[in-house]
Chain A
Amino acid sequence: MESLHIDESKFTMAVDFNTEKGLCIMSGNSYPEDAISFFEPLNRWLSQYICEVNKPLTVEIKLNYLNSSSSKCFMDIFDLLDDYHQDGGNVHVKWFYQEDDDEIKEAGEELLEDMSFNFEYVEI
């Protein structure tokens, strides 16, 4: 399966999904007006990885800012990963936040707190 790479813009994050390593890294800002369109390829790649590769997956998220519609798209991704984990998949999510950045830390906590897969918050 091919890897996915999306370049960073001022309002959309960089995505580096290495399907060989099972590592998906997202970083930057996320406040596109149309978040659904931006997240669409990422969702497609994750679904395909789960169906076809079916190996352990680590997701690292390093955000400066995310808007409300991006939050909903992250919730969709985490729900997908939660299903994968409940079906026996190995999922690990790392949510990074800058020291003192309560906004991003809390955004992550509210998205992840009910998930059944492994996750951790990492201060940078």
Chain B
Amino acid sequence: MKNEAKYENKIVLSNVGNIDPTNINDYIETRGYEAAKKIVSNEYTPLNVIDIIKNSGLRGRGGAGFPTGAKWEFTAKEKADKKFIVCNADEGEPGTFKDRLILEGDPHRILEGMIIAGYAVGAQKGFIYIRGEYSTAIERITNAIKDAYEKHYLGNSILGSSFNFDIEIKKGAGSYVCGEETSLIESIEGKRGNPRIKPPYPGQKGLWNYPTVVNNVETIANVAPILLNGADWFKSFGTEKSPGTKIFTLIGNVKNPGVVELPFGITLREIIFGFGGGISNDRKLKAIHLGGASGAVYDGSILDVPLDYDALKEKEGMLGSGAVLVMDEETDMRKYLKNVLEFFKHESCGQCVPCRIGTARLCEMADDIIEKGGKEVNIEYMKHLTDVMFKSSLCPLGQSVIMPVKSIFKYFNNEF
């Protein structure tokens, strides 16, 4: 059985499973839209809102951990006729389904967070870019938007204020790289979902070249609770540099896979052996792929490291989306390497040379490792190639191939 009571600390998922997500009144009863109402009725200036988010130390939950308050602040400072808020709900990271839970279980939380973000940066229009396969989530969000308009929580002069805010849904078409913010923006504009060169950053020139905040679903879901309860309350969770909680998706060879919201500073041992109940079939742990496809693959030596954004940087990895993929002793790491590389090859948009051709060549070389054995393949060149891809790829997709590849070669060297 899951040992939830001991480990879970719910901020983001507090409503999920506890309210009827199709009923706006259920959300309102849990103090829903209270924060937004307070803010847009001018109890707070936009600067106040940004200060609170900055003080809370909230960092982007999409994977990079960029301080949300700072992102809002420089978007707010840009002078432009229009600005946009985009909620990145294109959850495509393999083994990750945390955003889906929020979208399906507490859709108004997203809308409220976006309204607050819009007020803070001076945007009057928001887009939710949602993974096309998430049909229930799309339905729930669509209905939530409709209900919010009916209650004048969206539209013109919302929540009894003079603030206008609209939200529109855009559906993604299954491209991993469209989870990358600039590709996502291109896709909303109706173009091919290829990443843009940064700078300019979306905060300067985003959607149709207007300043745009792009925040992950989980990030936005933290906004209303922070505004309601204050930055200090939020900082009482987690670690100093990574306050709050993180939703982890535990999958693979564990007894109790699933989604769990835990404060930063938790260890993988607590997640896998506590919440997860240990390795299935009572086998031994071999490897953990942490943070999604772009994260590093570790052996058991990682189990007791307190998890936050900075601790993992030192370990040449990342917390990423919070995916924890557990592999037992039976796993063939050569095949796993191939599997990961096949994913990158498939998801490369094809725009820049190192990623487009690099992923294809790496895949072929991984094939050769399986067929002919590691001694027959120039593994040093594979490492070199991922290094060049890291340095030279246009967007994080090509840049992050290095993490799984190098860590697999590092921790599981004896298999090659």
The yes or no verdict on A and B being binding partners is no
Taking beta carbons and an 8 Å cutoff, which residues of B are in contact with A?
Answer: none
Taking beta carbons and an 8 Å cutoff, which residues of A are in contact with B?
Answer: none
